[in-house]
Amino acid sequence: MATLIDLIRAGHEVERHRPWPRAVVDAKVWRSAAGALADGGLSLLGLWGEPSCVHMAVLDNGTSAIGVLSLDCPDHQFPSVAAHHPPALRLERTIHDLLGLVPTGTPDPRPWLDHGRWQMRFPLGERLDASTDAAPYRFLPAEGDGLHQIAVGPVHAGIIEPGHFRFTASGETVVRLEQRLGYTHKGVEGLMAGSAVEQAARLAGRISGDSTVAYALAFAQAVEAAQRIAVPPRALLLRALMAELERLANHLGDIGAICNDASFALMQAHCAVLRESVLRAADAAFGHRMMRDLVVPGGLARDIAGDGSSAIRAALDQIRRHFPALIELYDNTASLQDRTVTTGVVTPALARQFAAGGYVGRASGRNHDARRMPGYLPYDGLRFEVPVLSDGDVNARVWIRIREVGQSLGLADQILAGLEAGPVRVSLQAATESCEGMALVEGFRGDILAWLRLSGDRIERCHLRDPSWFQWPLLEAAIEANIVADFPLCNKSFNCSYSGQDL
């Protein structure tokens, strides 16, 4: 089995790519990497393109090494990875939609983000004019007696993001779910290309609104890696504090919302109050409820307010006081457990194959947390556990969140206790030669990959991969053989990002 180090050595390593290596490889090495993904030696972290090359970020499951393999494709095609490893499929369809590079041997050549509405094709590659008369999208077939289809979206009944779900059901039982996404595609990578670092950082913080801190952090860490900038210790701690507050707020919101989708509104009412207390504390401490535009390359846009620590401590205390009774309520309500236990199961094998991050992966036995592996500052100096369960059902995904609330409370305490005075920002250098940086950051939903190339003080190319890319397909698998009425429950337990995936 090919290890990542062998694959990197078989290619030509690129200079000034940090912190992990990137190598330009030939088609043979590219194919053997696809084979190693298929047999489980490697996990796929990302797959993206430029006008005439493709990049694959992988994690070696044996050695925990991370690296990027690049393949030049002067004839605008590359060997399909998805032909061997299905998790690459939507990413490959996206590469074709945005750049016009053809994955040869792909099992599914349908477009993904391109709905035929952009008046052009291949917006990030060699653009072609296109009419807006889109051909109807061909959904995958399901055959059998008495099957019927239910089409949902893109405008949903709740206050949520747009996407289309096509269910094929036999009576009440779902036989097949197929997602069609891309409705919120805003062309973020196109807007970032050529923009100043500050502008790109603002865009990064607006890729998925619920993960604005995590995205800004991933982007900032990638810039800092490229330029080899050391961020002041106080800024590192405050960044982690914001990241944990974001995780707390989202997990609390999710736990309530999942129960609400099982028609148990009491949990929602109480969890929403705790979530609001976190947002208000964030507002008091950092001047914005969602802490947007605060994490910037080089550190923080501003320091925590003078009374910020006490506001946050008060919110943490409130959660500590009230949350245990809610956990007990969740655990002791039979009608609620009846809905969540054994519903929407993701098998450990699938979670491993798709390298699913966050609570989706950890509820199905995949022990991965970017704060631990590869790990980044300041988490090496903080104590926390990474909860892992193996049931893979809605209940397990709720429990991972419950346990992570406890861990984030502990982390926030440690950070507040360890804060020392000091600067919170260093200035960026105007790089003379182009350099590349990469980062893997744990958002509440899972690991966010950021990769970019800097040229002077401009972003030449930036790619951000949302954790949802490897979670959405698992939702299709999880709902199979469940009843249609349990879909909102399953969907909320995943809480995948539309905007982060559509980009």
Partner 1 sequence: MRKLLFQSLFRQPLTEQAPRPDDAALAELAAMVGHTARRRLGRSLSIREVDAGSCNGCELEIHALSNAYYDVERFGIRFVASPRHADVLLVTGPVTKNMRDALERTYHATPDPKWVVAAGDCAKDGGCFAGSYAVVGGVSAVVPVDLHIPGCPPSPMAILRGLVALLETVDTGVAAR
By CB under 8 A, name the binding residues for partner 1: 113, 115, 117-120, 123, 154-155, 157-162, 182-188, 190-191, 199, 202-203, 206-210, 212, 253, 266, 269-270, 272-273, 275-276, 279, 289-290, 292, 325-326, 329, 332-333, 497-499
> Nearer Cβ to partner 1, position 80 or 184?
184
Q: Which is nearer to partner 1, 28 or 186 (CB)?
A: 186
Q: Would you say 366 or 465 has its CB closer to partner 1?
A: 465
Helix (H) or strand (E) holding 319, with range, is helix 308-332
d(C-alpha 406, C-alpha 152), whole Å: 36
Output the smallest distance, CB 113 to partner 1, in A.
Answer: 8
CB 292 → partner 1: shortest distance, Å? Answer: 7
Alpha helices for 354-445 (secondary structure H): 358-362, 394-418
The strand pair at 22-25 and 12-13 is best described as antiparallel
Spatial CB neighbours of 33, under 8 Å, sequence gap ≥ 6: 2, 7, 25, 42, 56, 58, 69, 81
CB of 151 to partner 1, least distance (A): 13
| Separation CA 232–CA 225 (nearest Å) | 14
Closer residue to partner 1 in complex, CB, 75/198? 198
Residues facing residue 451 across a β-bridge = 438, 463
Question: Which residue, 159 or 430, is less far from partner 1 as judged by CB?
Answer: 159
Closest approach of partner 1 to the CB of residue 208, in Å = 6
CB of 462 to partner 1, least distance (A): 14
* Strand arrangement, sheet containing 12-13: 12-13, 22-25, 66-72, 53-60, 42-50
Q: How far is CA 274 from the centre of its chain?
A: 24
Give the residue carrying structure tokens 């054994």: 342
Residues 6+ apart with CB under 8 A from 53: 24, 70, 71, 72, 73
Shorter beta-carbon distance to partner 1: residue 208 or 493: 208
- Tell me how far, at minimum, the Cβ of 351 lies from partner 1, in Å: 24
Distance in Å, CB of 312 to partner 1, minimum:
18
Q: In angstroms, what is the minimal distance from the CB of 202 to partner 1?
A: 6
Residue 156 near residue 181, CB atoms below 8 Å = no
CA distance 10 to 166: 44
146: tokens are: 């008495």
What's the closest the beta carbon of residue 186 comes to partner 1, in angstroms? 5
Residue whose CB is less far from partner 1, 17 or 270 = 270
Angle 316-320-326 (CA atoms, 0-180°, nearest 5)? 125
**Could you tell me the smallest distance in angstroms from the CB atom of residue 494 to partner 1?**
14
Nearer to partner 1, 324 or 381 (CB): 324
Angle at the Cα of 17 from the Cα atoms of 14 and 21, rounded to 5 degrees: 70
Residue closer to partner 1 (CB basis): 18 or 339: 339
Question: In 3-state terms, what secondary structure has residue 428?
Answer: coil
Pick between residue 185 and residue 234 the one whose CB is nearest to partner 1. 185
| Tokens representing residue 50 in the block | 């430029």
Of 474, 492, 493, give the one whose Cα is nearest residue 179. 474
Closer CB to partner 1, 469 or 498, in the complex: 498
**Rounded distance between C-alpha atoms, residue 230 and residue 426, angstroms:** 8
Q: Which residues of 66-102 are buried (b: 16+ CB within 10 A; e: fewer)?
A: bbbbbbebeeebbbbbbbbbbbbbbbbbbbbbbbbbb
Strands (DSSP E) along 242-373, which ranges? 295-296, 299-300
Minimum distance of partner 1 from residue 270's CB (angstroms): 8
> In the complex with partner 1, which residue's Cβ is closer, 326 or 439?
326
CB of 429 to partner 1, least distance (A): 25
Q: Which two tokens stand for residue 483?
A: 């009843």
Using the minimum distance from each CB to partner 1, give the nearer residue, 208 or 491. Answer: 208
How near is the Cβ of 332 to partner 1 at its closest, in Å?
8
DSSP annotation string for 217-267:
HHHHHHHHHHHTPPPPHHHHHHHHHHHHHHHHHHHHHHHHHHHHHTT-HHH
